[in-house]
Structure formats: structure tokens, C-alpha cells
Amino acid sequence: MTGEPLLSIDNITKAYPGVVANSDVSFQIQPGEVHALLGENGAGKSTLVKMIYGLVRPDSGSMTFRGAAYAPPEPRIARSTGVAMVFQHFSLFEALNVAENIALGMENPPPQRDLAKRIREVSEAYGLPLDPDRLVGDLSAGERQRVEIIRCLLQDPKLLIMDEPTSVLTPQEVEILFHTLRKLAAEGTSILYISHKLEEIRALCDEATILRLGKVVGKCTPRDTSAAEMAELMVGKSLATPARDNADLGEVILKVSGLSVEPSNPFGTPLRHIGIELHAGEVLGIGGVAGNGQDELLAALSGEVTTAPGTVTLHKNPIGDKGPNERRELGILCGPEERLGHAAAPDMSLVENALLTARQRKNLADSGFVNWGATRAYAEKVIADFDVRTPGPDNVARSLSGGNLQKFVIGREILQDPTVLVVNQPTWGVDASAAADIRQAILDLAQKGAGVIVISQDLDELLEVSDNFAALNEGRLSNVRTTRDLTMETIGLMLGGAHDMHDLDEEAIHAEA
């Protein structure tokens, strides 16, 4: 393809205080091309697409769209020019229905009834079934993404931007999405596909531009390039894969049985009859698409939500009715998904954040009075042992990068020597080298005999660290399977909620036979 590019980005630079998000970035997208923008968290991908979509303005450089100068001052202009975007964190409104959500993203929405009809037409044409009258708050993550995609498609875009679209999908849903995107590309729509997942890019994209620290560090044709080559370009060095010597599972330490919890808000997920047996030295991976009860499960294990005593037992002692601090004393420690606001208080210093969970096991308070000296020493130890990059323990949590704060949060728990550690999305939004460190720390902890539950939406991560695997779907937990026997397809079925896993096992056996 050597014709006029649809979109040409030339020497774009954008700086924020303290960081240059994009430095002299240039690349072209041809009509009908699926173009990958590849890079780690913090490489500057989001800033770049925000400029294309008119949410942020570049400091310097220019863009050309279909031969004309293009500098959208706001998203409305971008949309009317033919640029549409599906956001990573969806730009949806839970209390509004699907049709209203779609109308909000259109310049001149037709009356609700006509709109509902068009939504049905488009959703059928592209194999994305959707009911226009349902509240978005009641939809699954995959369905929410469909709302965003249909909102874009109704605008008839020339360029569709997709920001990390598969992070919330099951493997089967990813296939459906790719099918839709290929169909769109065949019809002449260009797609700018942002991701850090290499295999996906190799399966879908025609061209790729690789960003690192805000600069273009390479361009390639993904089908002809190995994942390892792209990874090296993206990360800038090769990373050691986390590993452990051997996994000998000990006795059952934590047992959850018949755990059911009603949600605390109208759009929450109820937990239904969860059963878990966690052994000493085991890493149990719990996979699932966002919004299937991960937060609720962590809360029930951490003690933020209490249940009947017998539903959770530690070394056969019932603890279901015990709160977070009592469970900490017994050795159950947790690292929630949301770093800022849940695992850590954003505006408090790292010293104060060390006190947040380490008071009991590290004896940081004496008859109610805080021992700030000991607390500071502990914060400094976490910073040193886990290589947290910060000027010092007096800096507030939100001043740290995602990776560094996550290392602090995980380190704070691990250095307390837990019997059981439960973490949710331990490497979400974390750069590759910090992610590798965190995974290695989890494996080391299990090696020392602790039981670890890793809840994650990143299947690659779970396959890498866990001995056993279970899937969480609509608040139900599948049976536990040994990780090394799993195929992506089986995982997909488990995540999709093939409810009776015994039947599934048999089918799998038949299929293999």
C-alpha cells in the first residue's frame, strides 16, 4: 500500500511536568489497515491517541488526515472528521441504558426509537448482540465494550481507535472481536490497535509502531516478526521469566466452603457458593473477566466483608466472622486491586501507609499510641528490600509510579511473613520489569511455604505463576484444575462460565480422544 495515508502523524511532541509523554513521534496509517501501537505501560500510547481524538493537544508536530491538516480541538471535531475511539476504561454511564449511552457519543442522535432500531441492525450485522433498553450497569464487561464499539460504528468512522480492548475479554470474546475488526478493515475502515499483548498483535495487525518512553523505537510487520523480537524492542532489555525450584504442596491451610455474599451496591456481583482449598506452598490462580466478583472475593477473604464463621477456615479454625485486623494477626494478608484508595491512602506518606496493614504483625502501636519510629523503619525496609523508587518514605503514595507503589504494597504484605497472601491484579498497569519482580516475589513466598491466591485478569500471568487454576464467573468459582494441563480453549470455556465443569471435563477428554 503506497497510496495516500489515511492518517499521518509527524514529529508529535507532548510534555507534562516531569515527563515527556511523546517525543518526536511519527507514523502513518493506511486506509483499511490494522495498525498496532505497541508499548509498555507508561510508554506514551494513551497520550498519543488522546491527541488523535482531540482530548489533548500536542506541544509541537502536526497531523494530516486524508491529505488535510488535522488538529482537533475537541473530540466532537475528531468524531465529525471520522475518528472514533473505544476507551480502555469505558466511557460509559452505568445508570443510563444502552441507547442513551450510544446517543451521548453521537453528534446528531436520531430519536430513541429509531436509534434502538439501528443499534439492533448494526449489532446483528457485526455479530455483537445487544439490547438497547438494558441498563449499562447490568452488563458484563464484554457487553459494555460492545456498547462502545457500536457507538463508534454508528458514526461510520474512517479510523477506529481501540485502547487495550482485550484486557477485559475472555479468549472466545477476543475471537469475536477480532472477527468484527477484520470485517471492518475489509470494508475499508482503518484501525489503530493499542496493546502490549504481542500474540494478539501478531494475529490481527498489518503494521506495528513500537513506543518506548515516549519515543518510536521501531516499526515492524507483526506477522513476520517474532514475539521475542517485539518484546525486546518494547521493553528495551530481555527480562528473566519468574521461576521457582519446585512446587511441593503441603497440607490445606485455608479452606473456603459455601461462601455466598450479597453485593453492597446495586451493580455489584453476588458471590455464590465459593469453595477453595489452598495448600501450603501453593499458588492458586483465579482468572476471570472484570466484574465477575473479584473485588467481592478479596473482600470476603480479607475480612472487609464478614460471613458465617465456618465459611472460611484457617488451619481448621473458623474465621469467617473475623475482621481484617484479626485475620492479619492470624496470618492472612491481602493486596487489593485498587492501589490508590484501597491498598494505600493516596495523600498519606509511605510511613503512614506502612501502618495501614502492618500494625499487628510488626507491633507498630503500643496501647493505642503509634510507634512512628518503628513504622518508619518498616517503611524503609520495604522500600529497600523491594527496590521501590522514591526519594524517601515521607513522600505521599500518589507521587509514586504505578509499578513502584505496587512493589511497596506487595512488599508491605510479604515482609510481614504471611501464612496466606491474597492479591488481586498484582501487576495491573505496572511496567514489565516491576511486574517480573512482583511475580518472582510471589513465587519466592510460596517456595517458603505460604499459600498464595493470585486473582488476575491476565491469563498469561496466571499461567506463569500458578500451580492450580480456577475461573470466577458471575460470582461462581469453577473447579480447580492443574495449570500445566490447561489449554487456552479450556480456560476460555471456564471463564465464559461453562457452569458444569464436570461435563466440560468429559467433553474435553472426548475431544482429545
AA letter at 10: D
Residue with Cβ nearer another protein (309 or 392): 392
Do 126 and 180 touch, CB atoms closer than 8 A?
yes
Do 161 and 128 touch, CB atoms closer than 8 A?
no
Considering the complex, what minimum distance in angstroms separates the CB of residue 162 from another protein? 14
DSSP string, 419-462: SEEEEESTTTT--HHHHHHHHHHHHHHHHTT-EEEEEES-HHHH
Interatomic CA distance for residues 267 and 269, integer angstroms: 7
Strand duo 34-38 + 207-212: pairing: parallel
Neighbours of 378 (CB within 10 A): 24
What is the maximal distance between C-alpha atoms in the chain? 76
Considering the complex, what minimum distance in angstroms separates the CB of residue 94 from another protein? 7
Considering the complex, what minimum distance in angstroms separates the CB of residue 360 from another protein? 9
Residue with Cβ nearer another protein (23 or 468): 23
Residue with Cβ nearer another protein (361 or 481): 361
Considering the complex, what minimum distance in angstroms separates the CB of residue 71 from another protein? 6
Considering the complex, what minimum distance in angstroms separates the CB of residue 69 from another protein? 10
Number of H helices, E strands in the chain: 17, 23
Considering the complex, what minimum distance in angstroms separates the CB of residue 299 from another protein? 9
Residue with Cβ nearer another protein (242 or 411): 411
Residues that bind another protein in the complex, under the rule CB under 8 A: 16-17, 47, 50, 54-60, 62, 71, 74-76, 78-79, 87, 89-96, 100, 103-105, 109, 265-266, 302-304, 323-325, 328, 334, 336, 338, 341-348, 352, 355-357, 359, 365, 368-370, 372, 395-396, 398-399
Residue with Cβ nearer another protein (103 or 205): 103
DSSP string, 364-430: -EETTEE-HHHHHHHHHHHHHHTT---S-TTSBGGGS-HHHHHHHHHHHHHTT--SEEEEESTTTT-
Do 423 and 334 touch, CB atoms closer than 8 A?
yes
Interatomic CA distance for residues 303 and 373, integer angstroms: 28
Considering the complex, what minimum distance in angstroms separates the CB of residue 154 from another protein? 14
Interatomic CA distance for residues 409 and 386, integer angstroms: 10
Q: Which three cell numbers stand for residue 354?
A: 506502612
Considering the complex, what minimum distance in angstroms separates the CB of residue 480 from another protein? 27
Residue with Cβ nearer another protein (244 or 342): 342
Residue with Cβ nearer another protein (355 or 453): 355
Residue with Cβ nearer another protein (401 or 427): 401
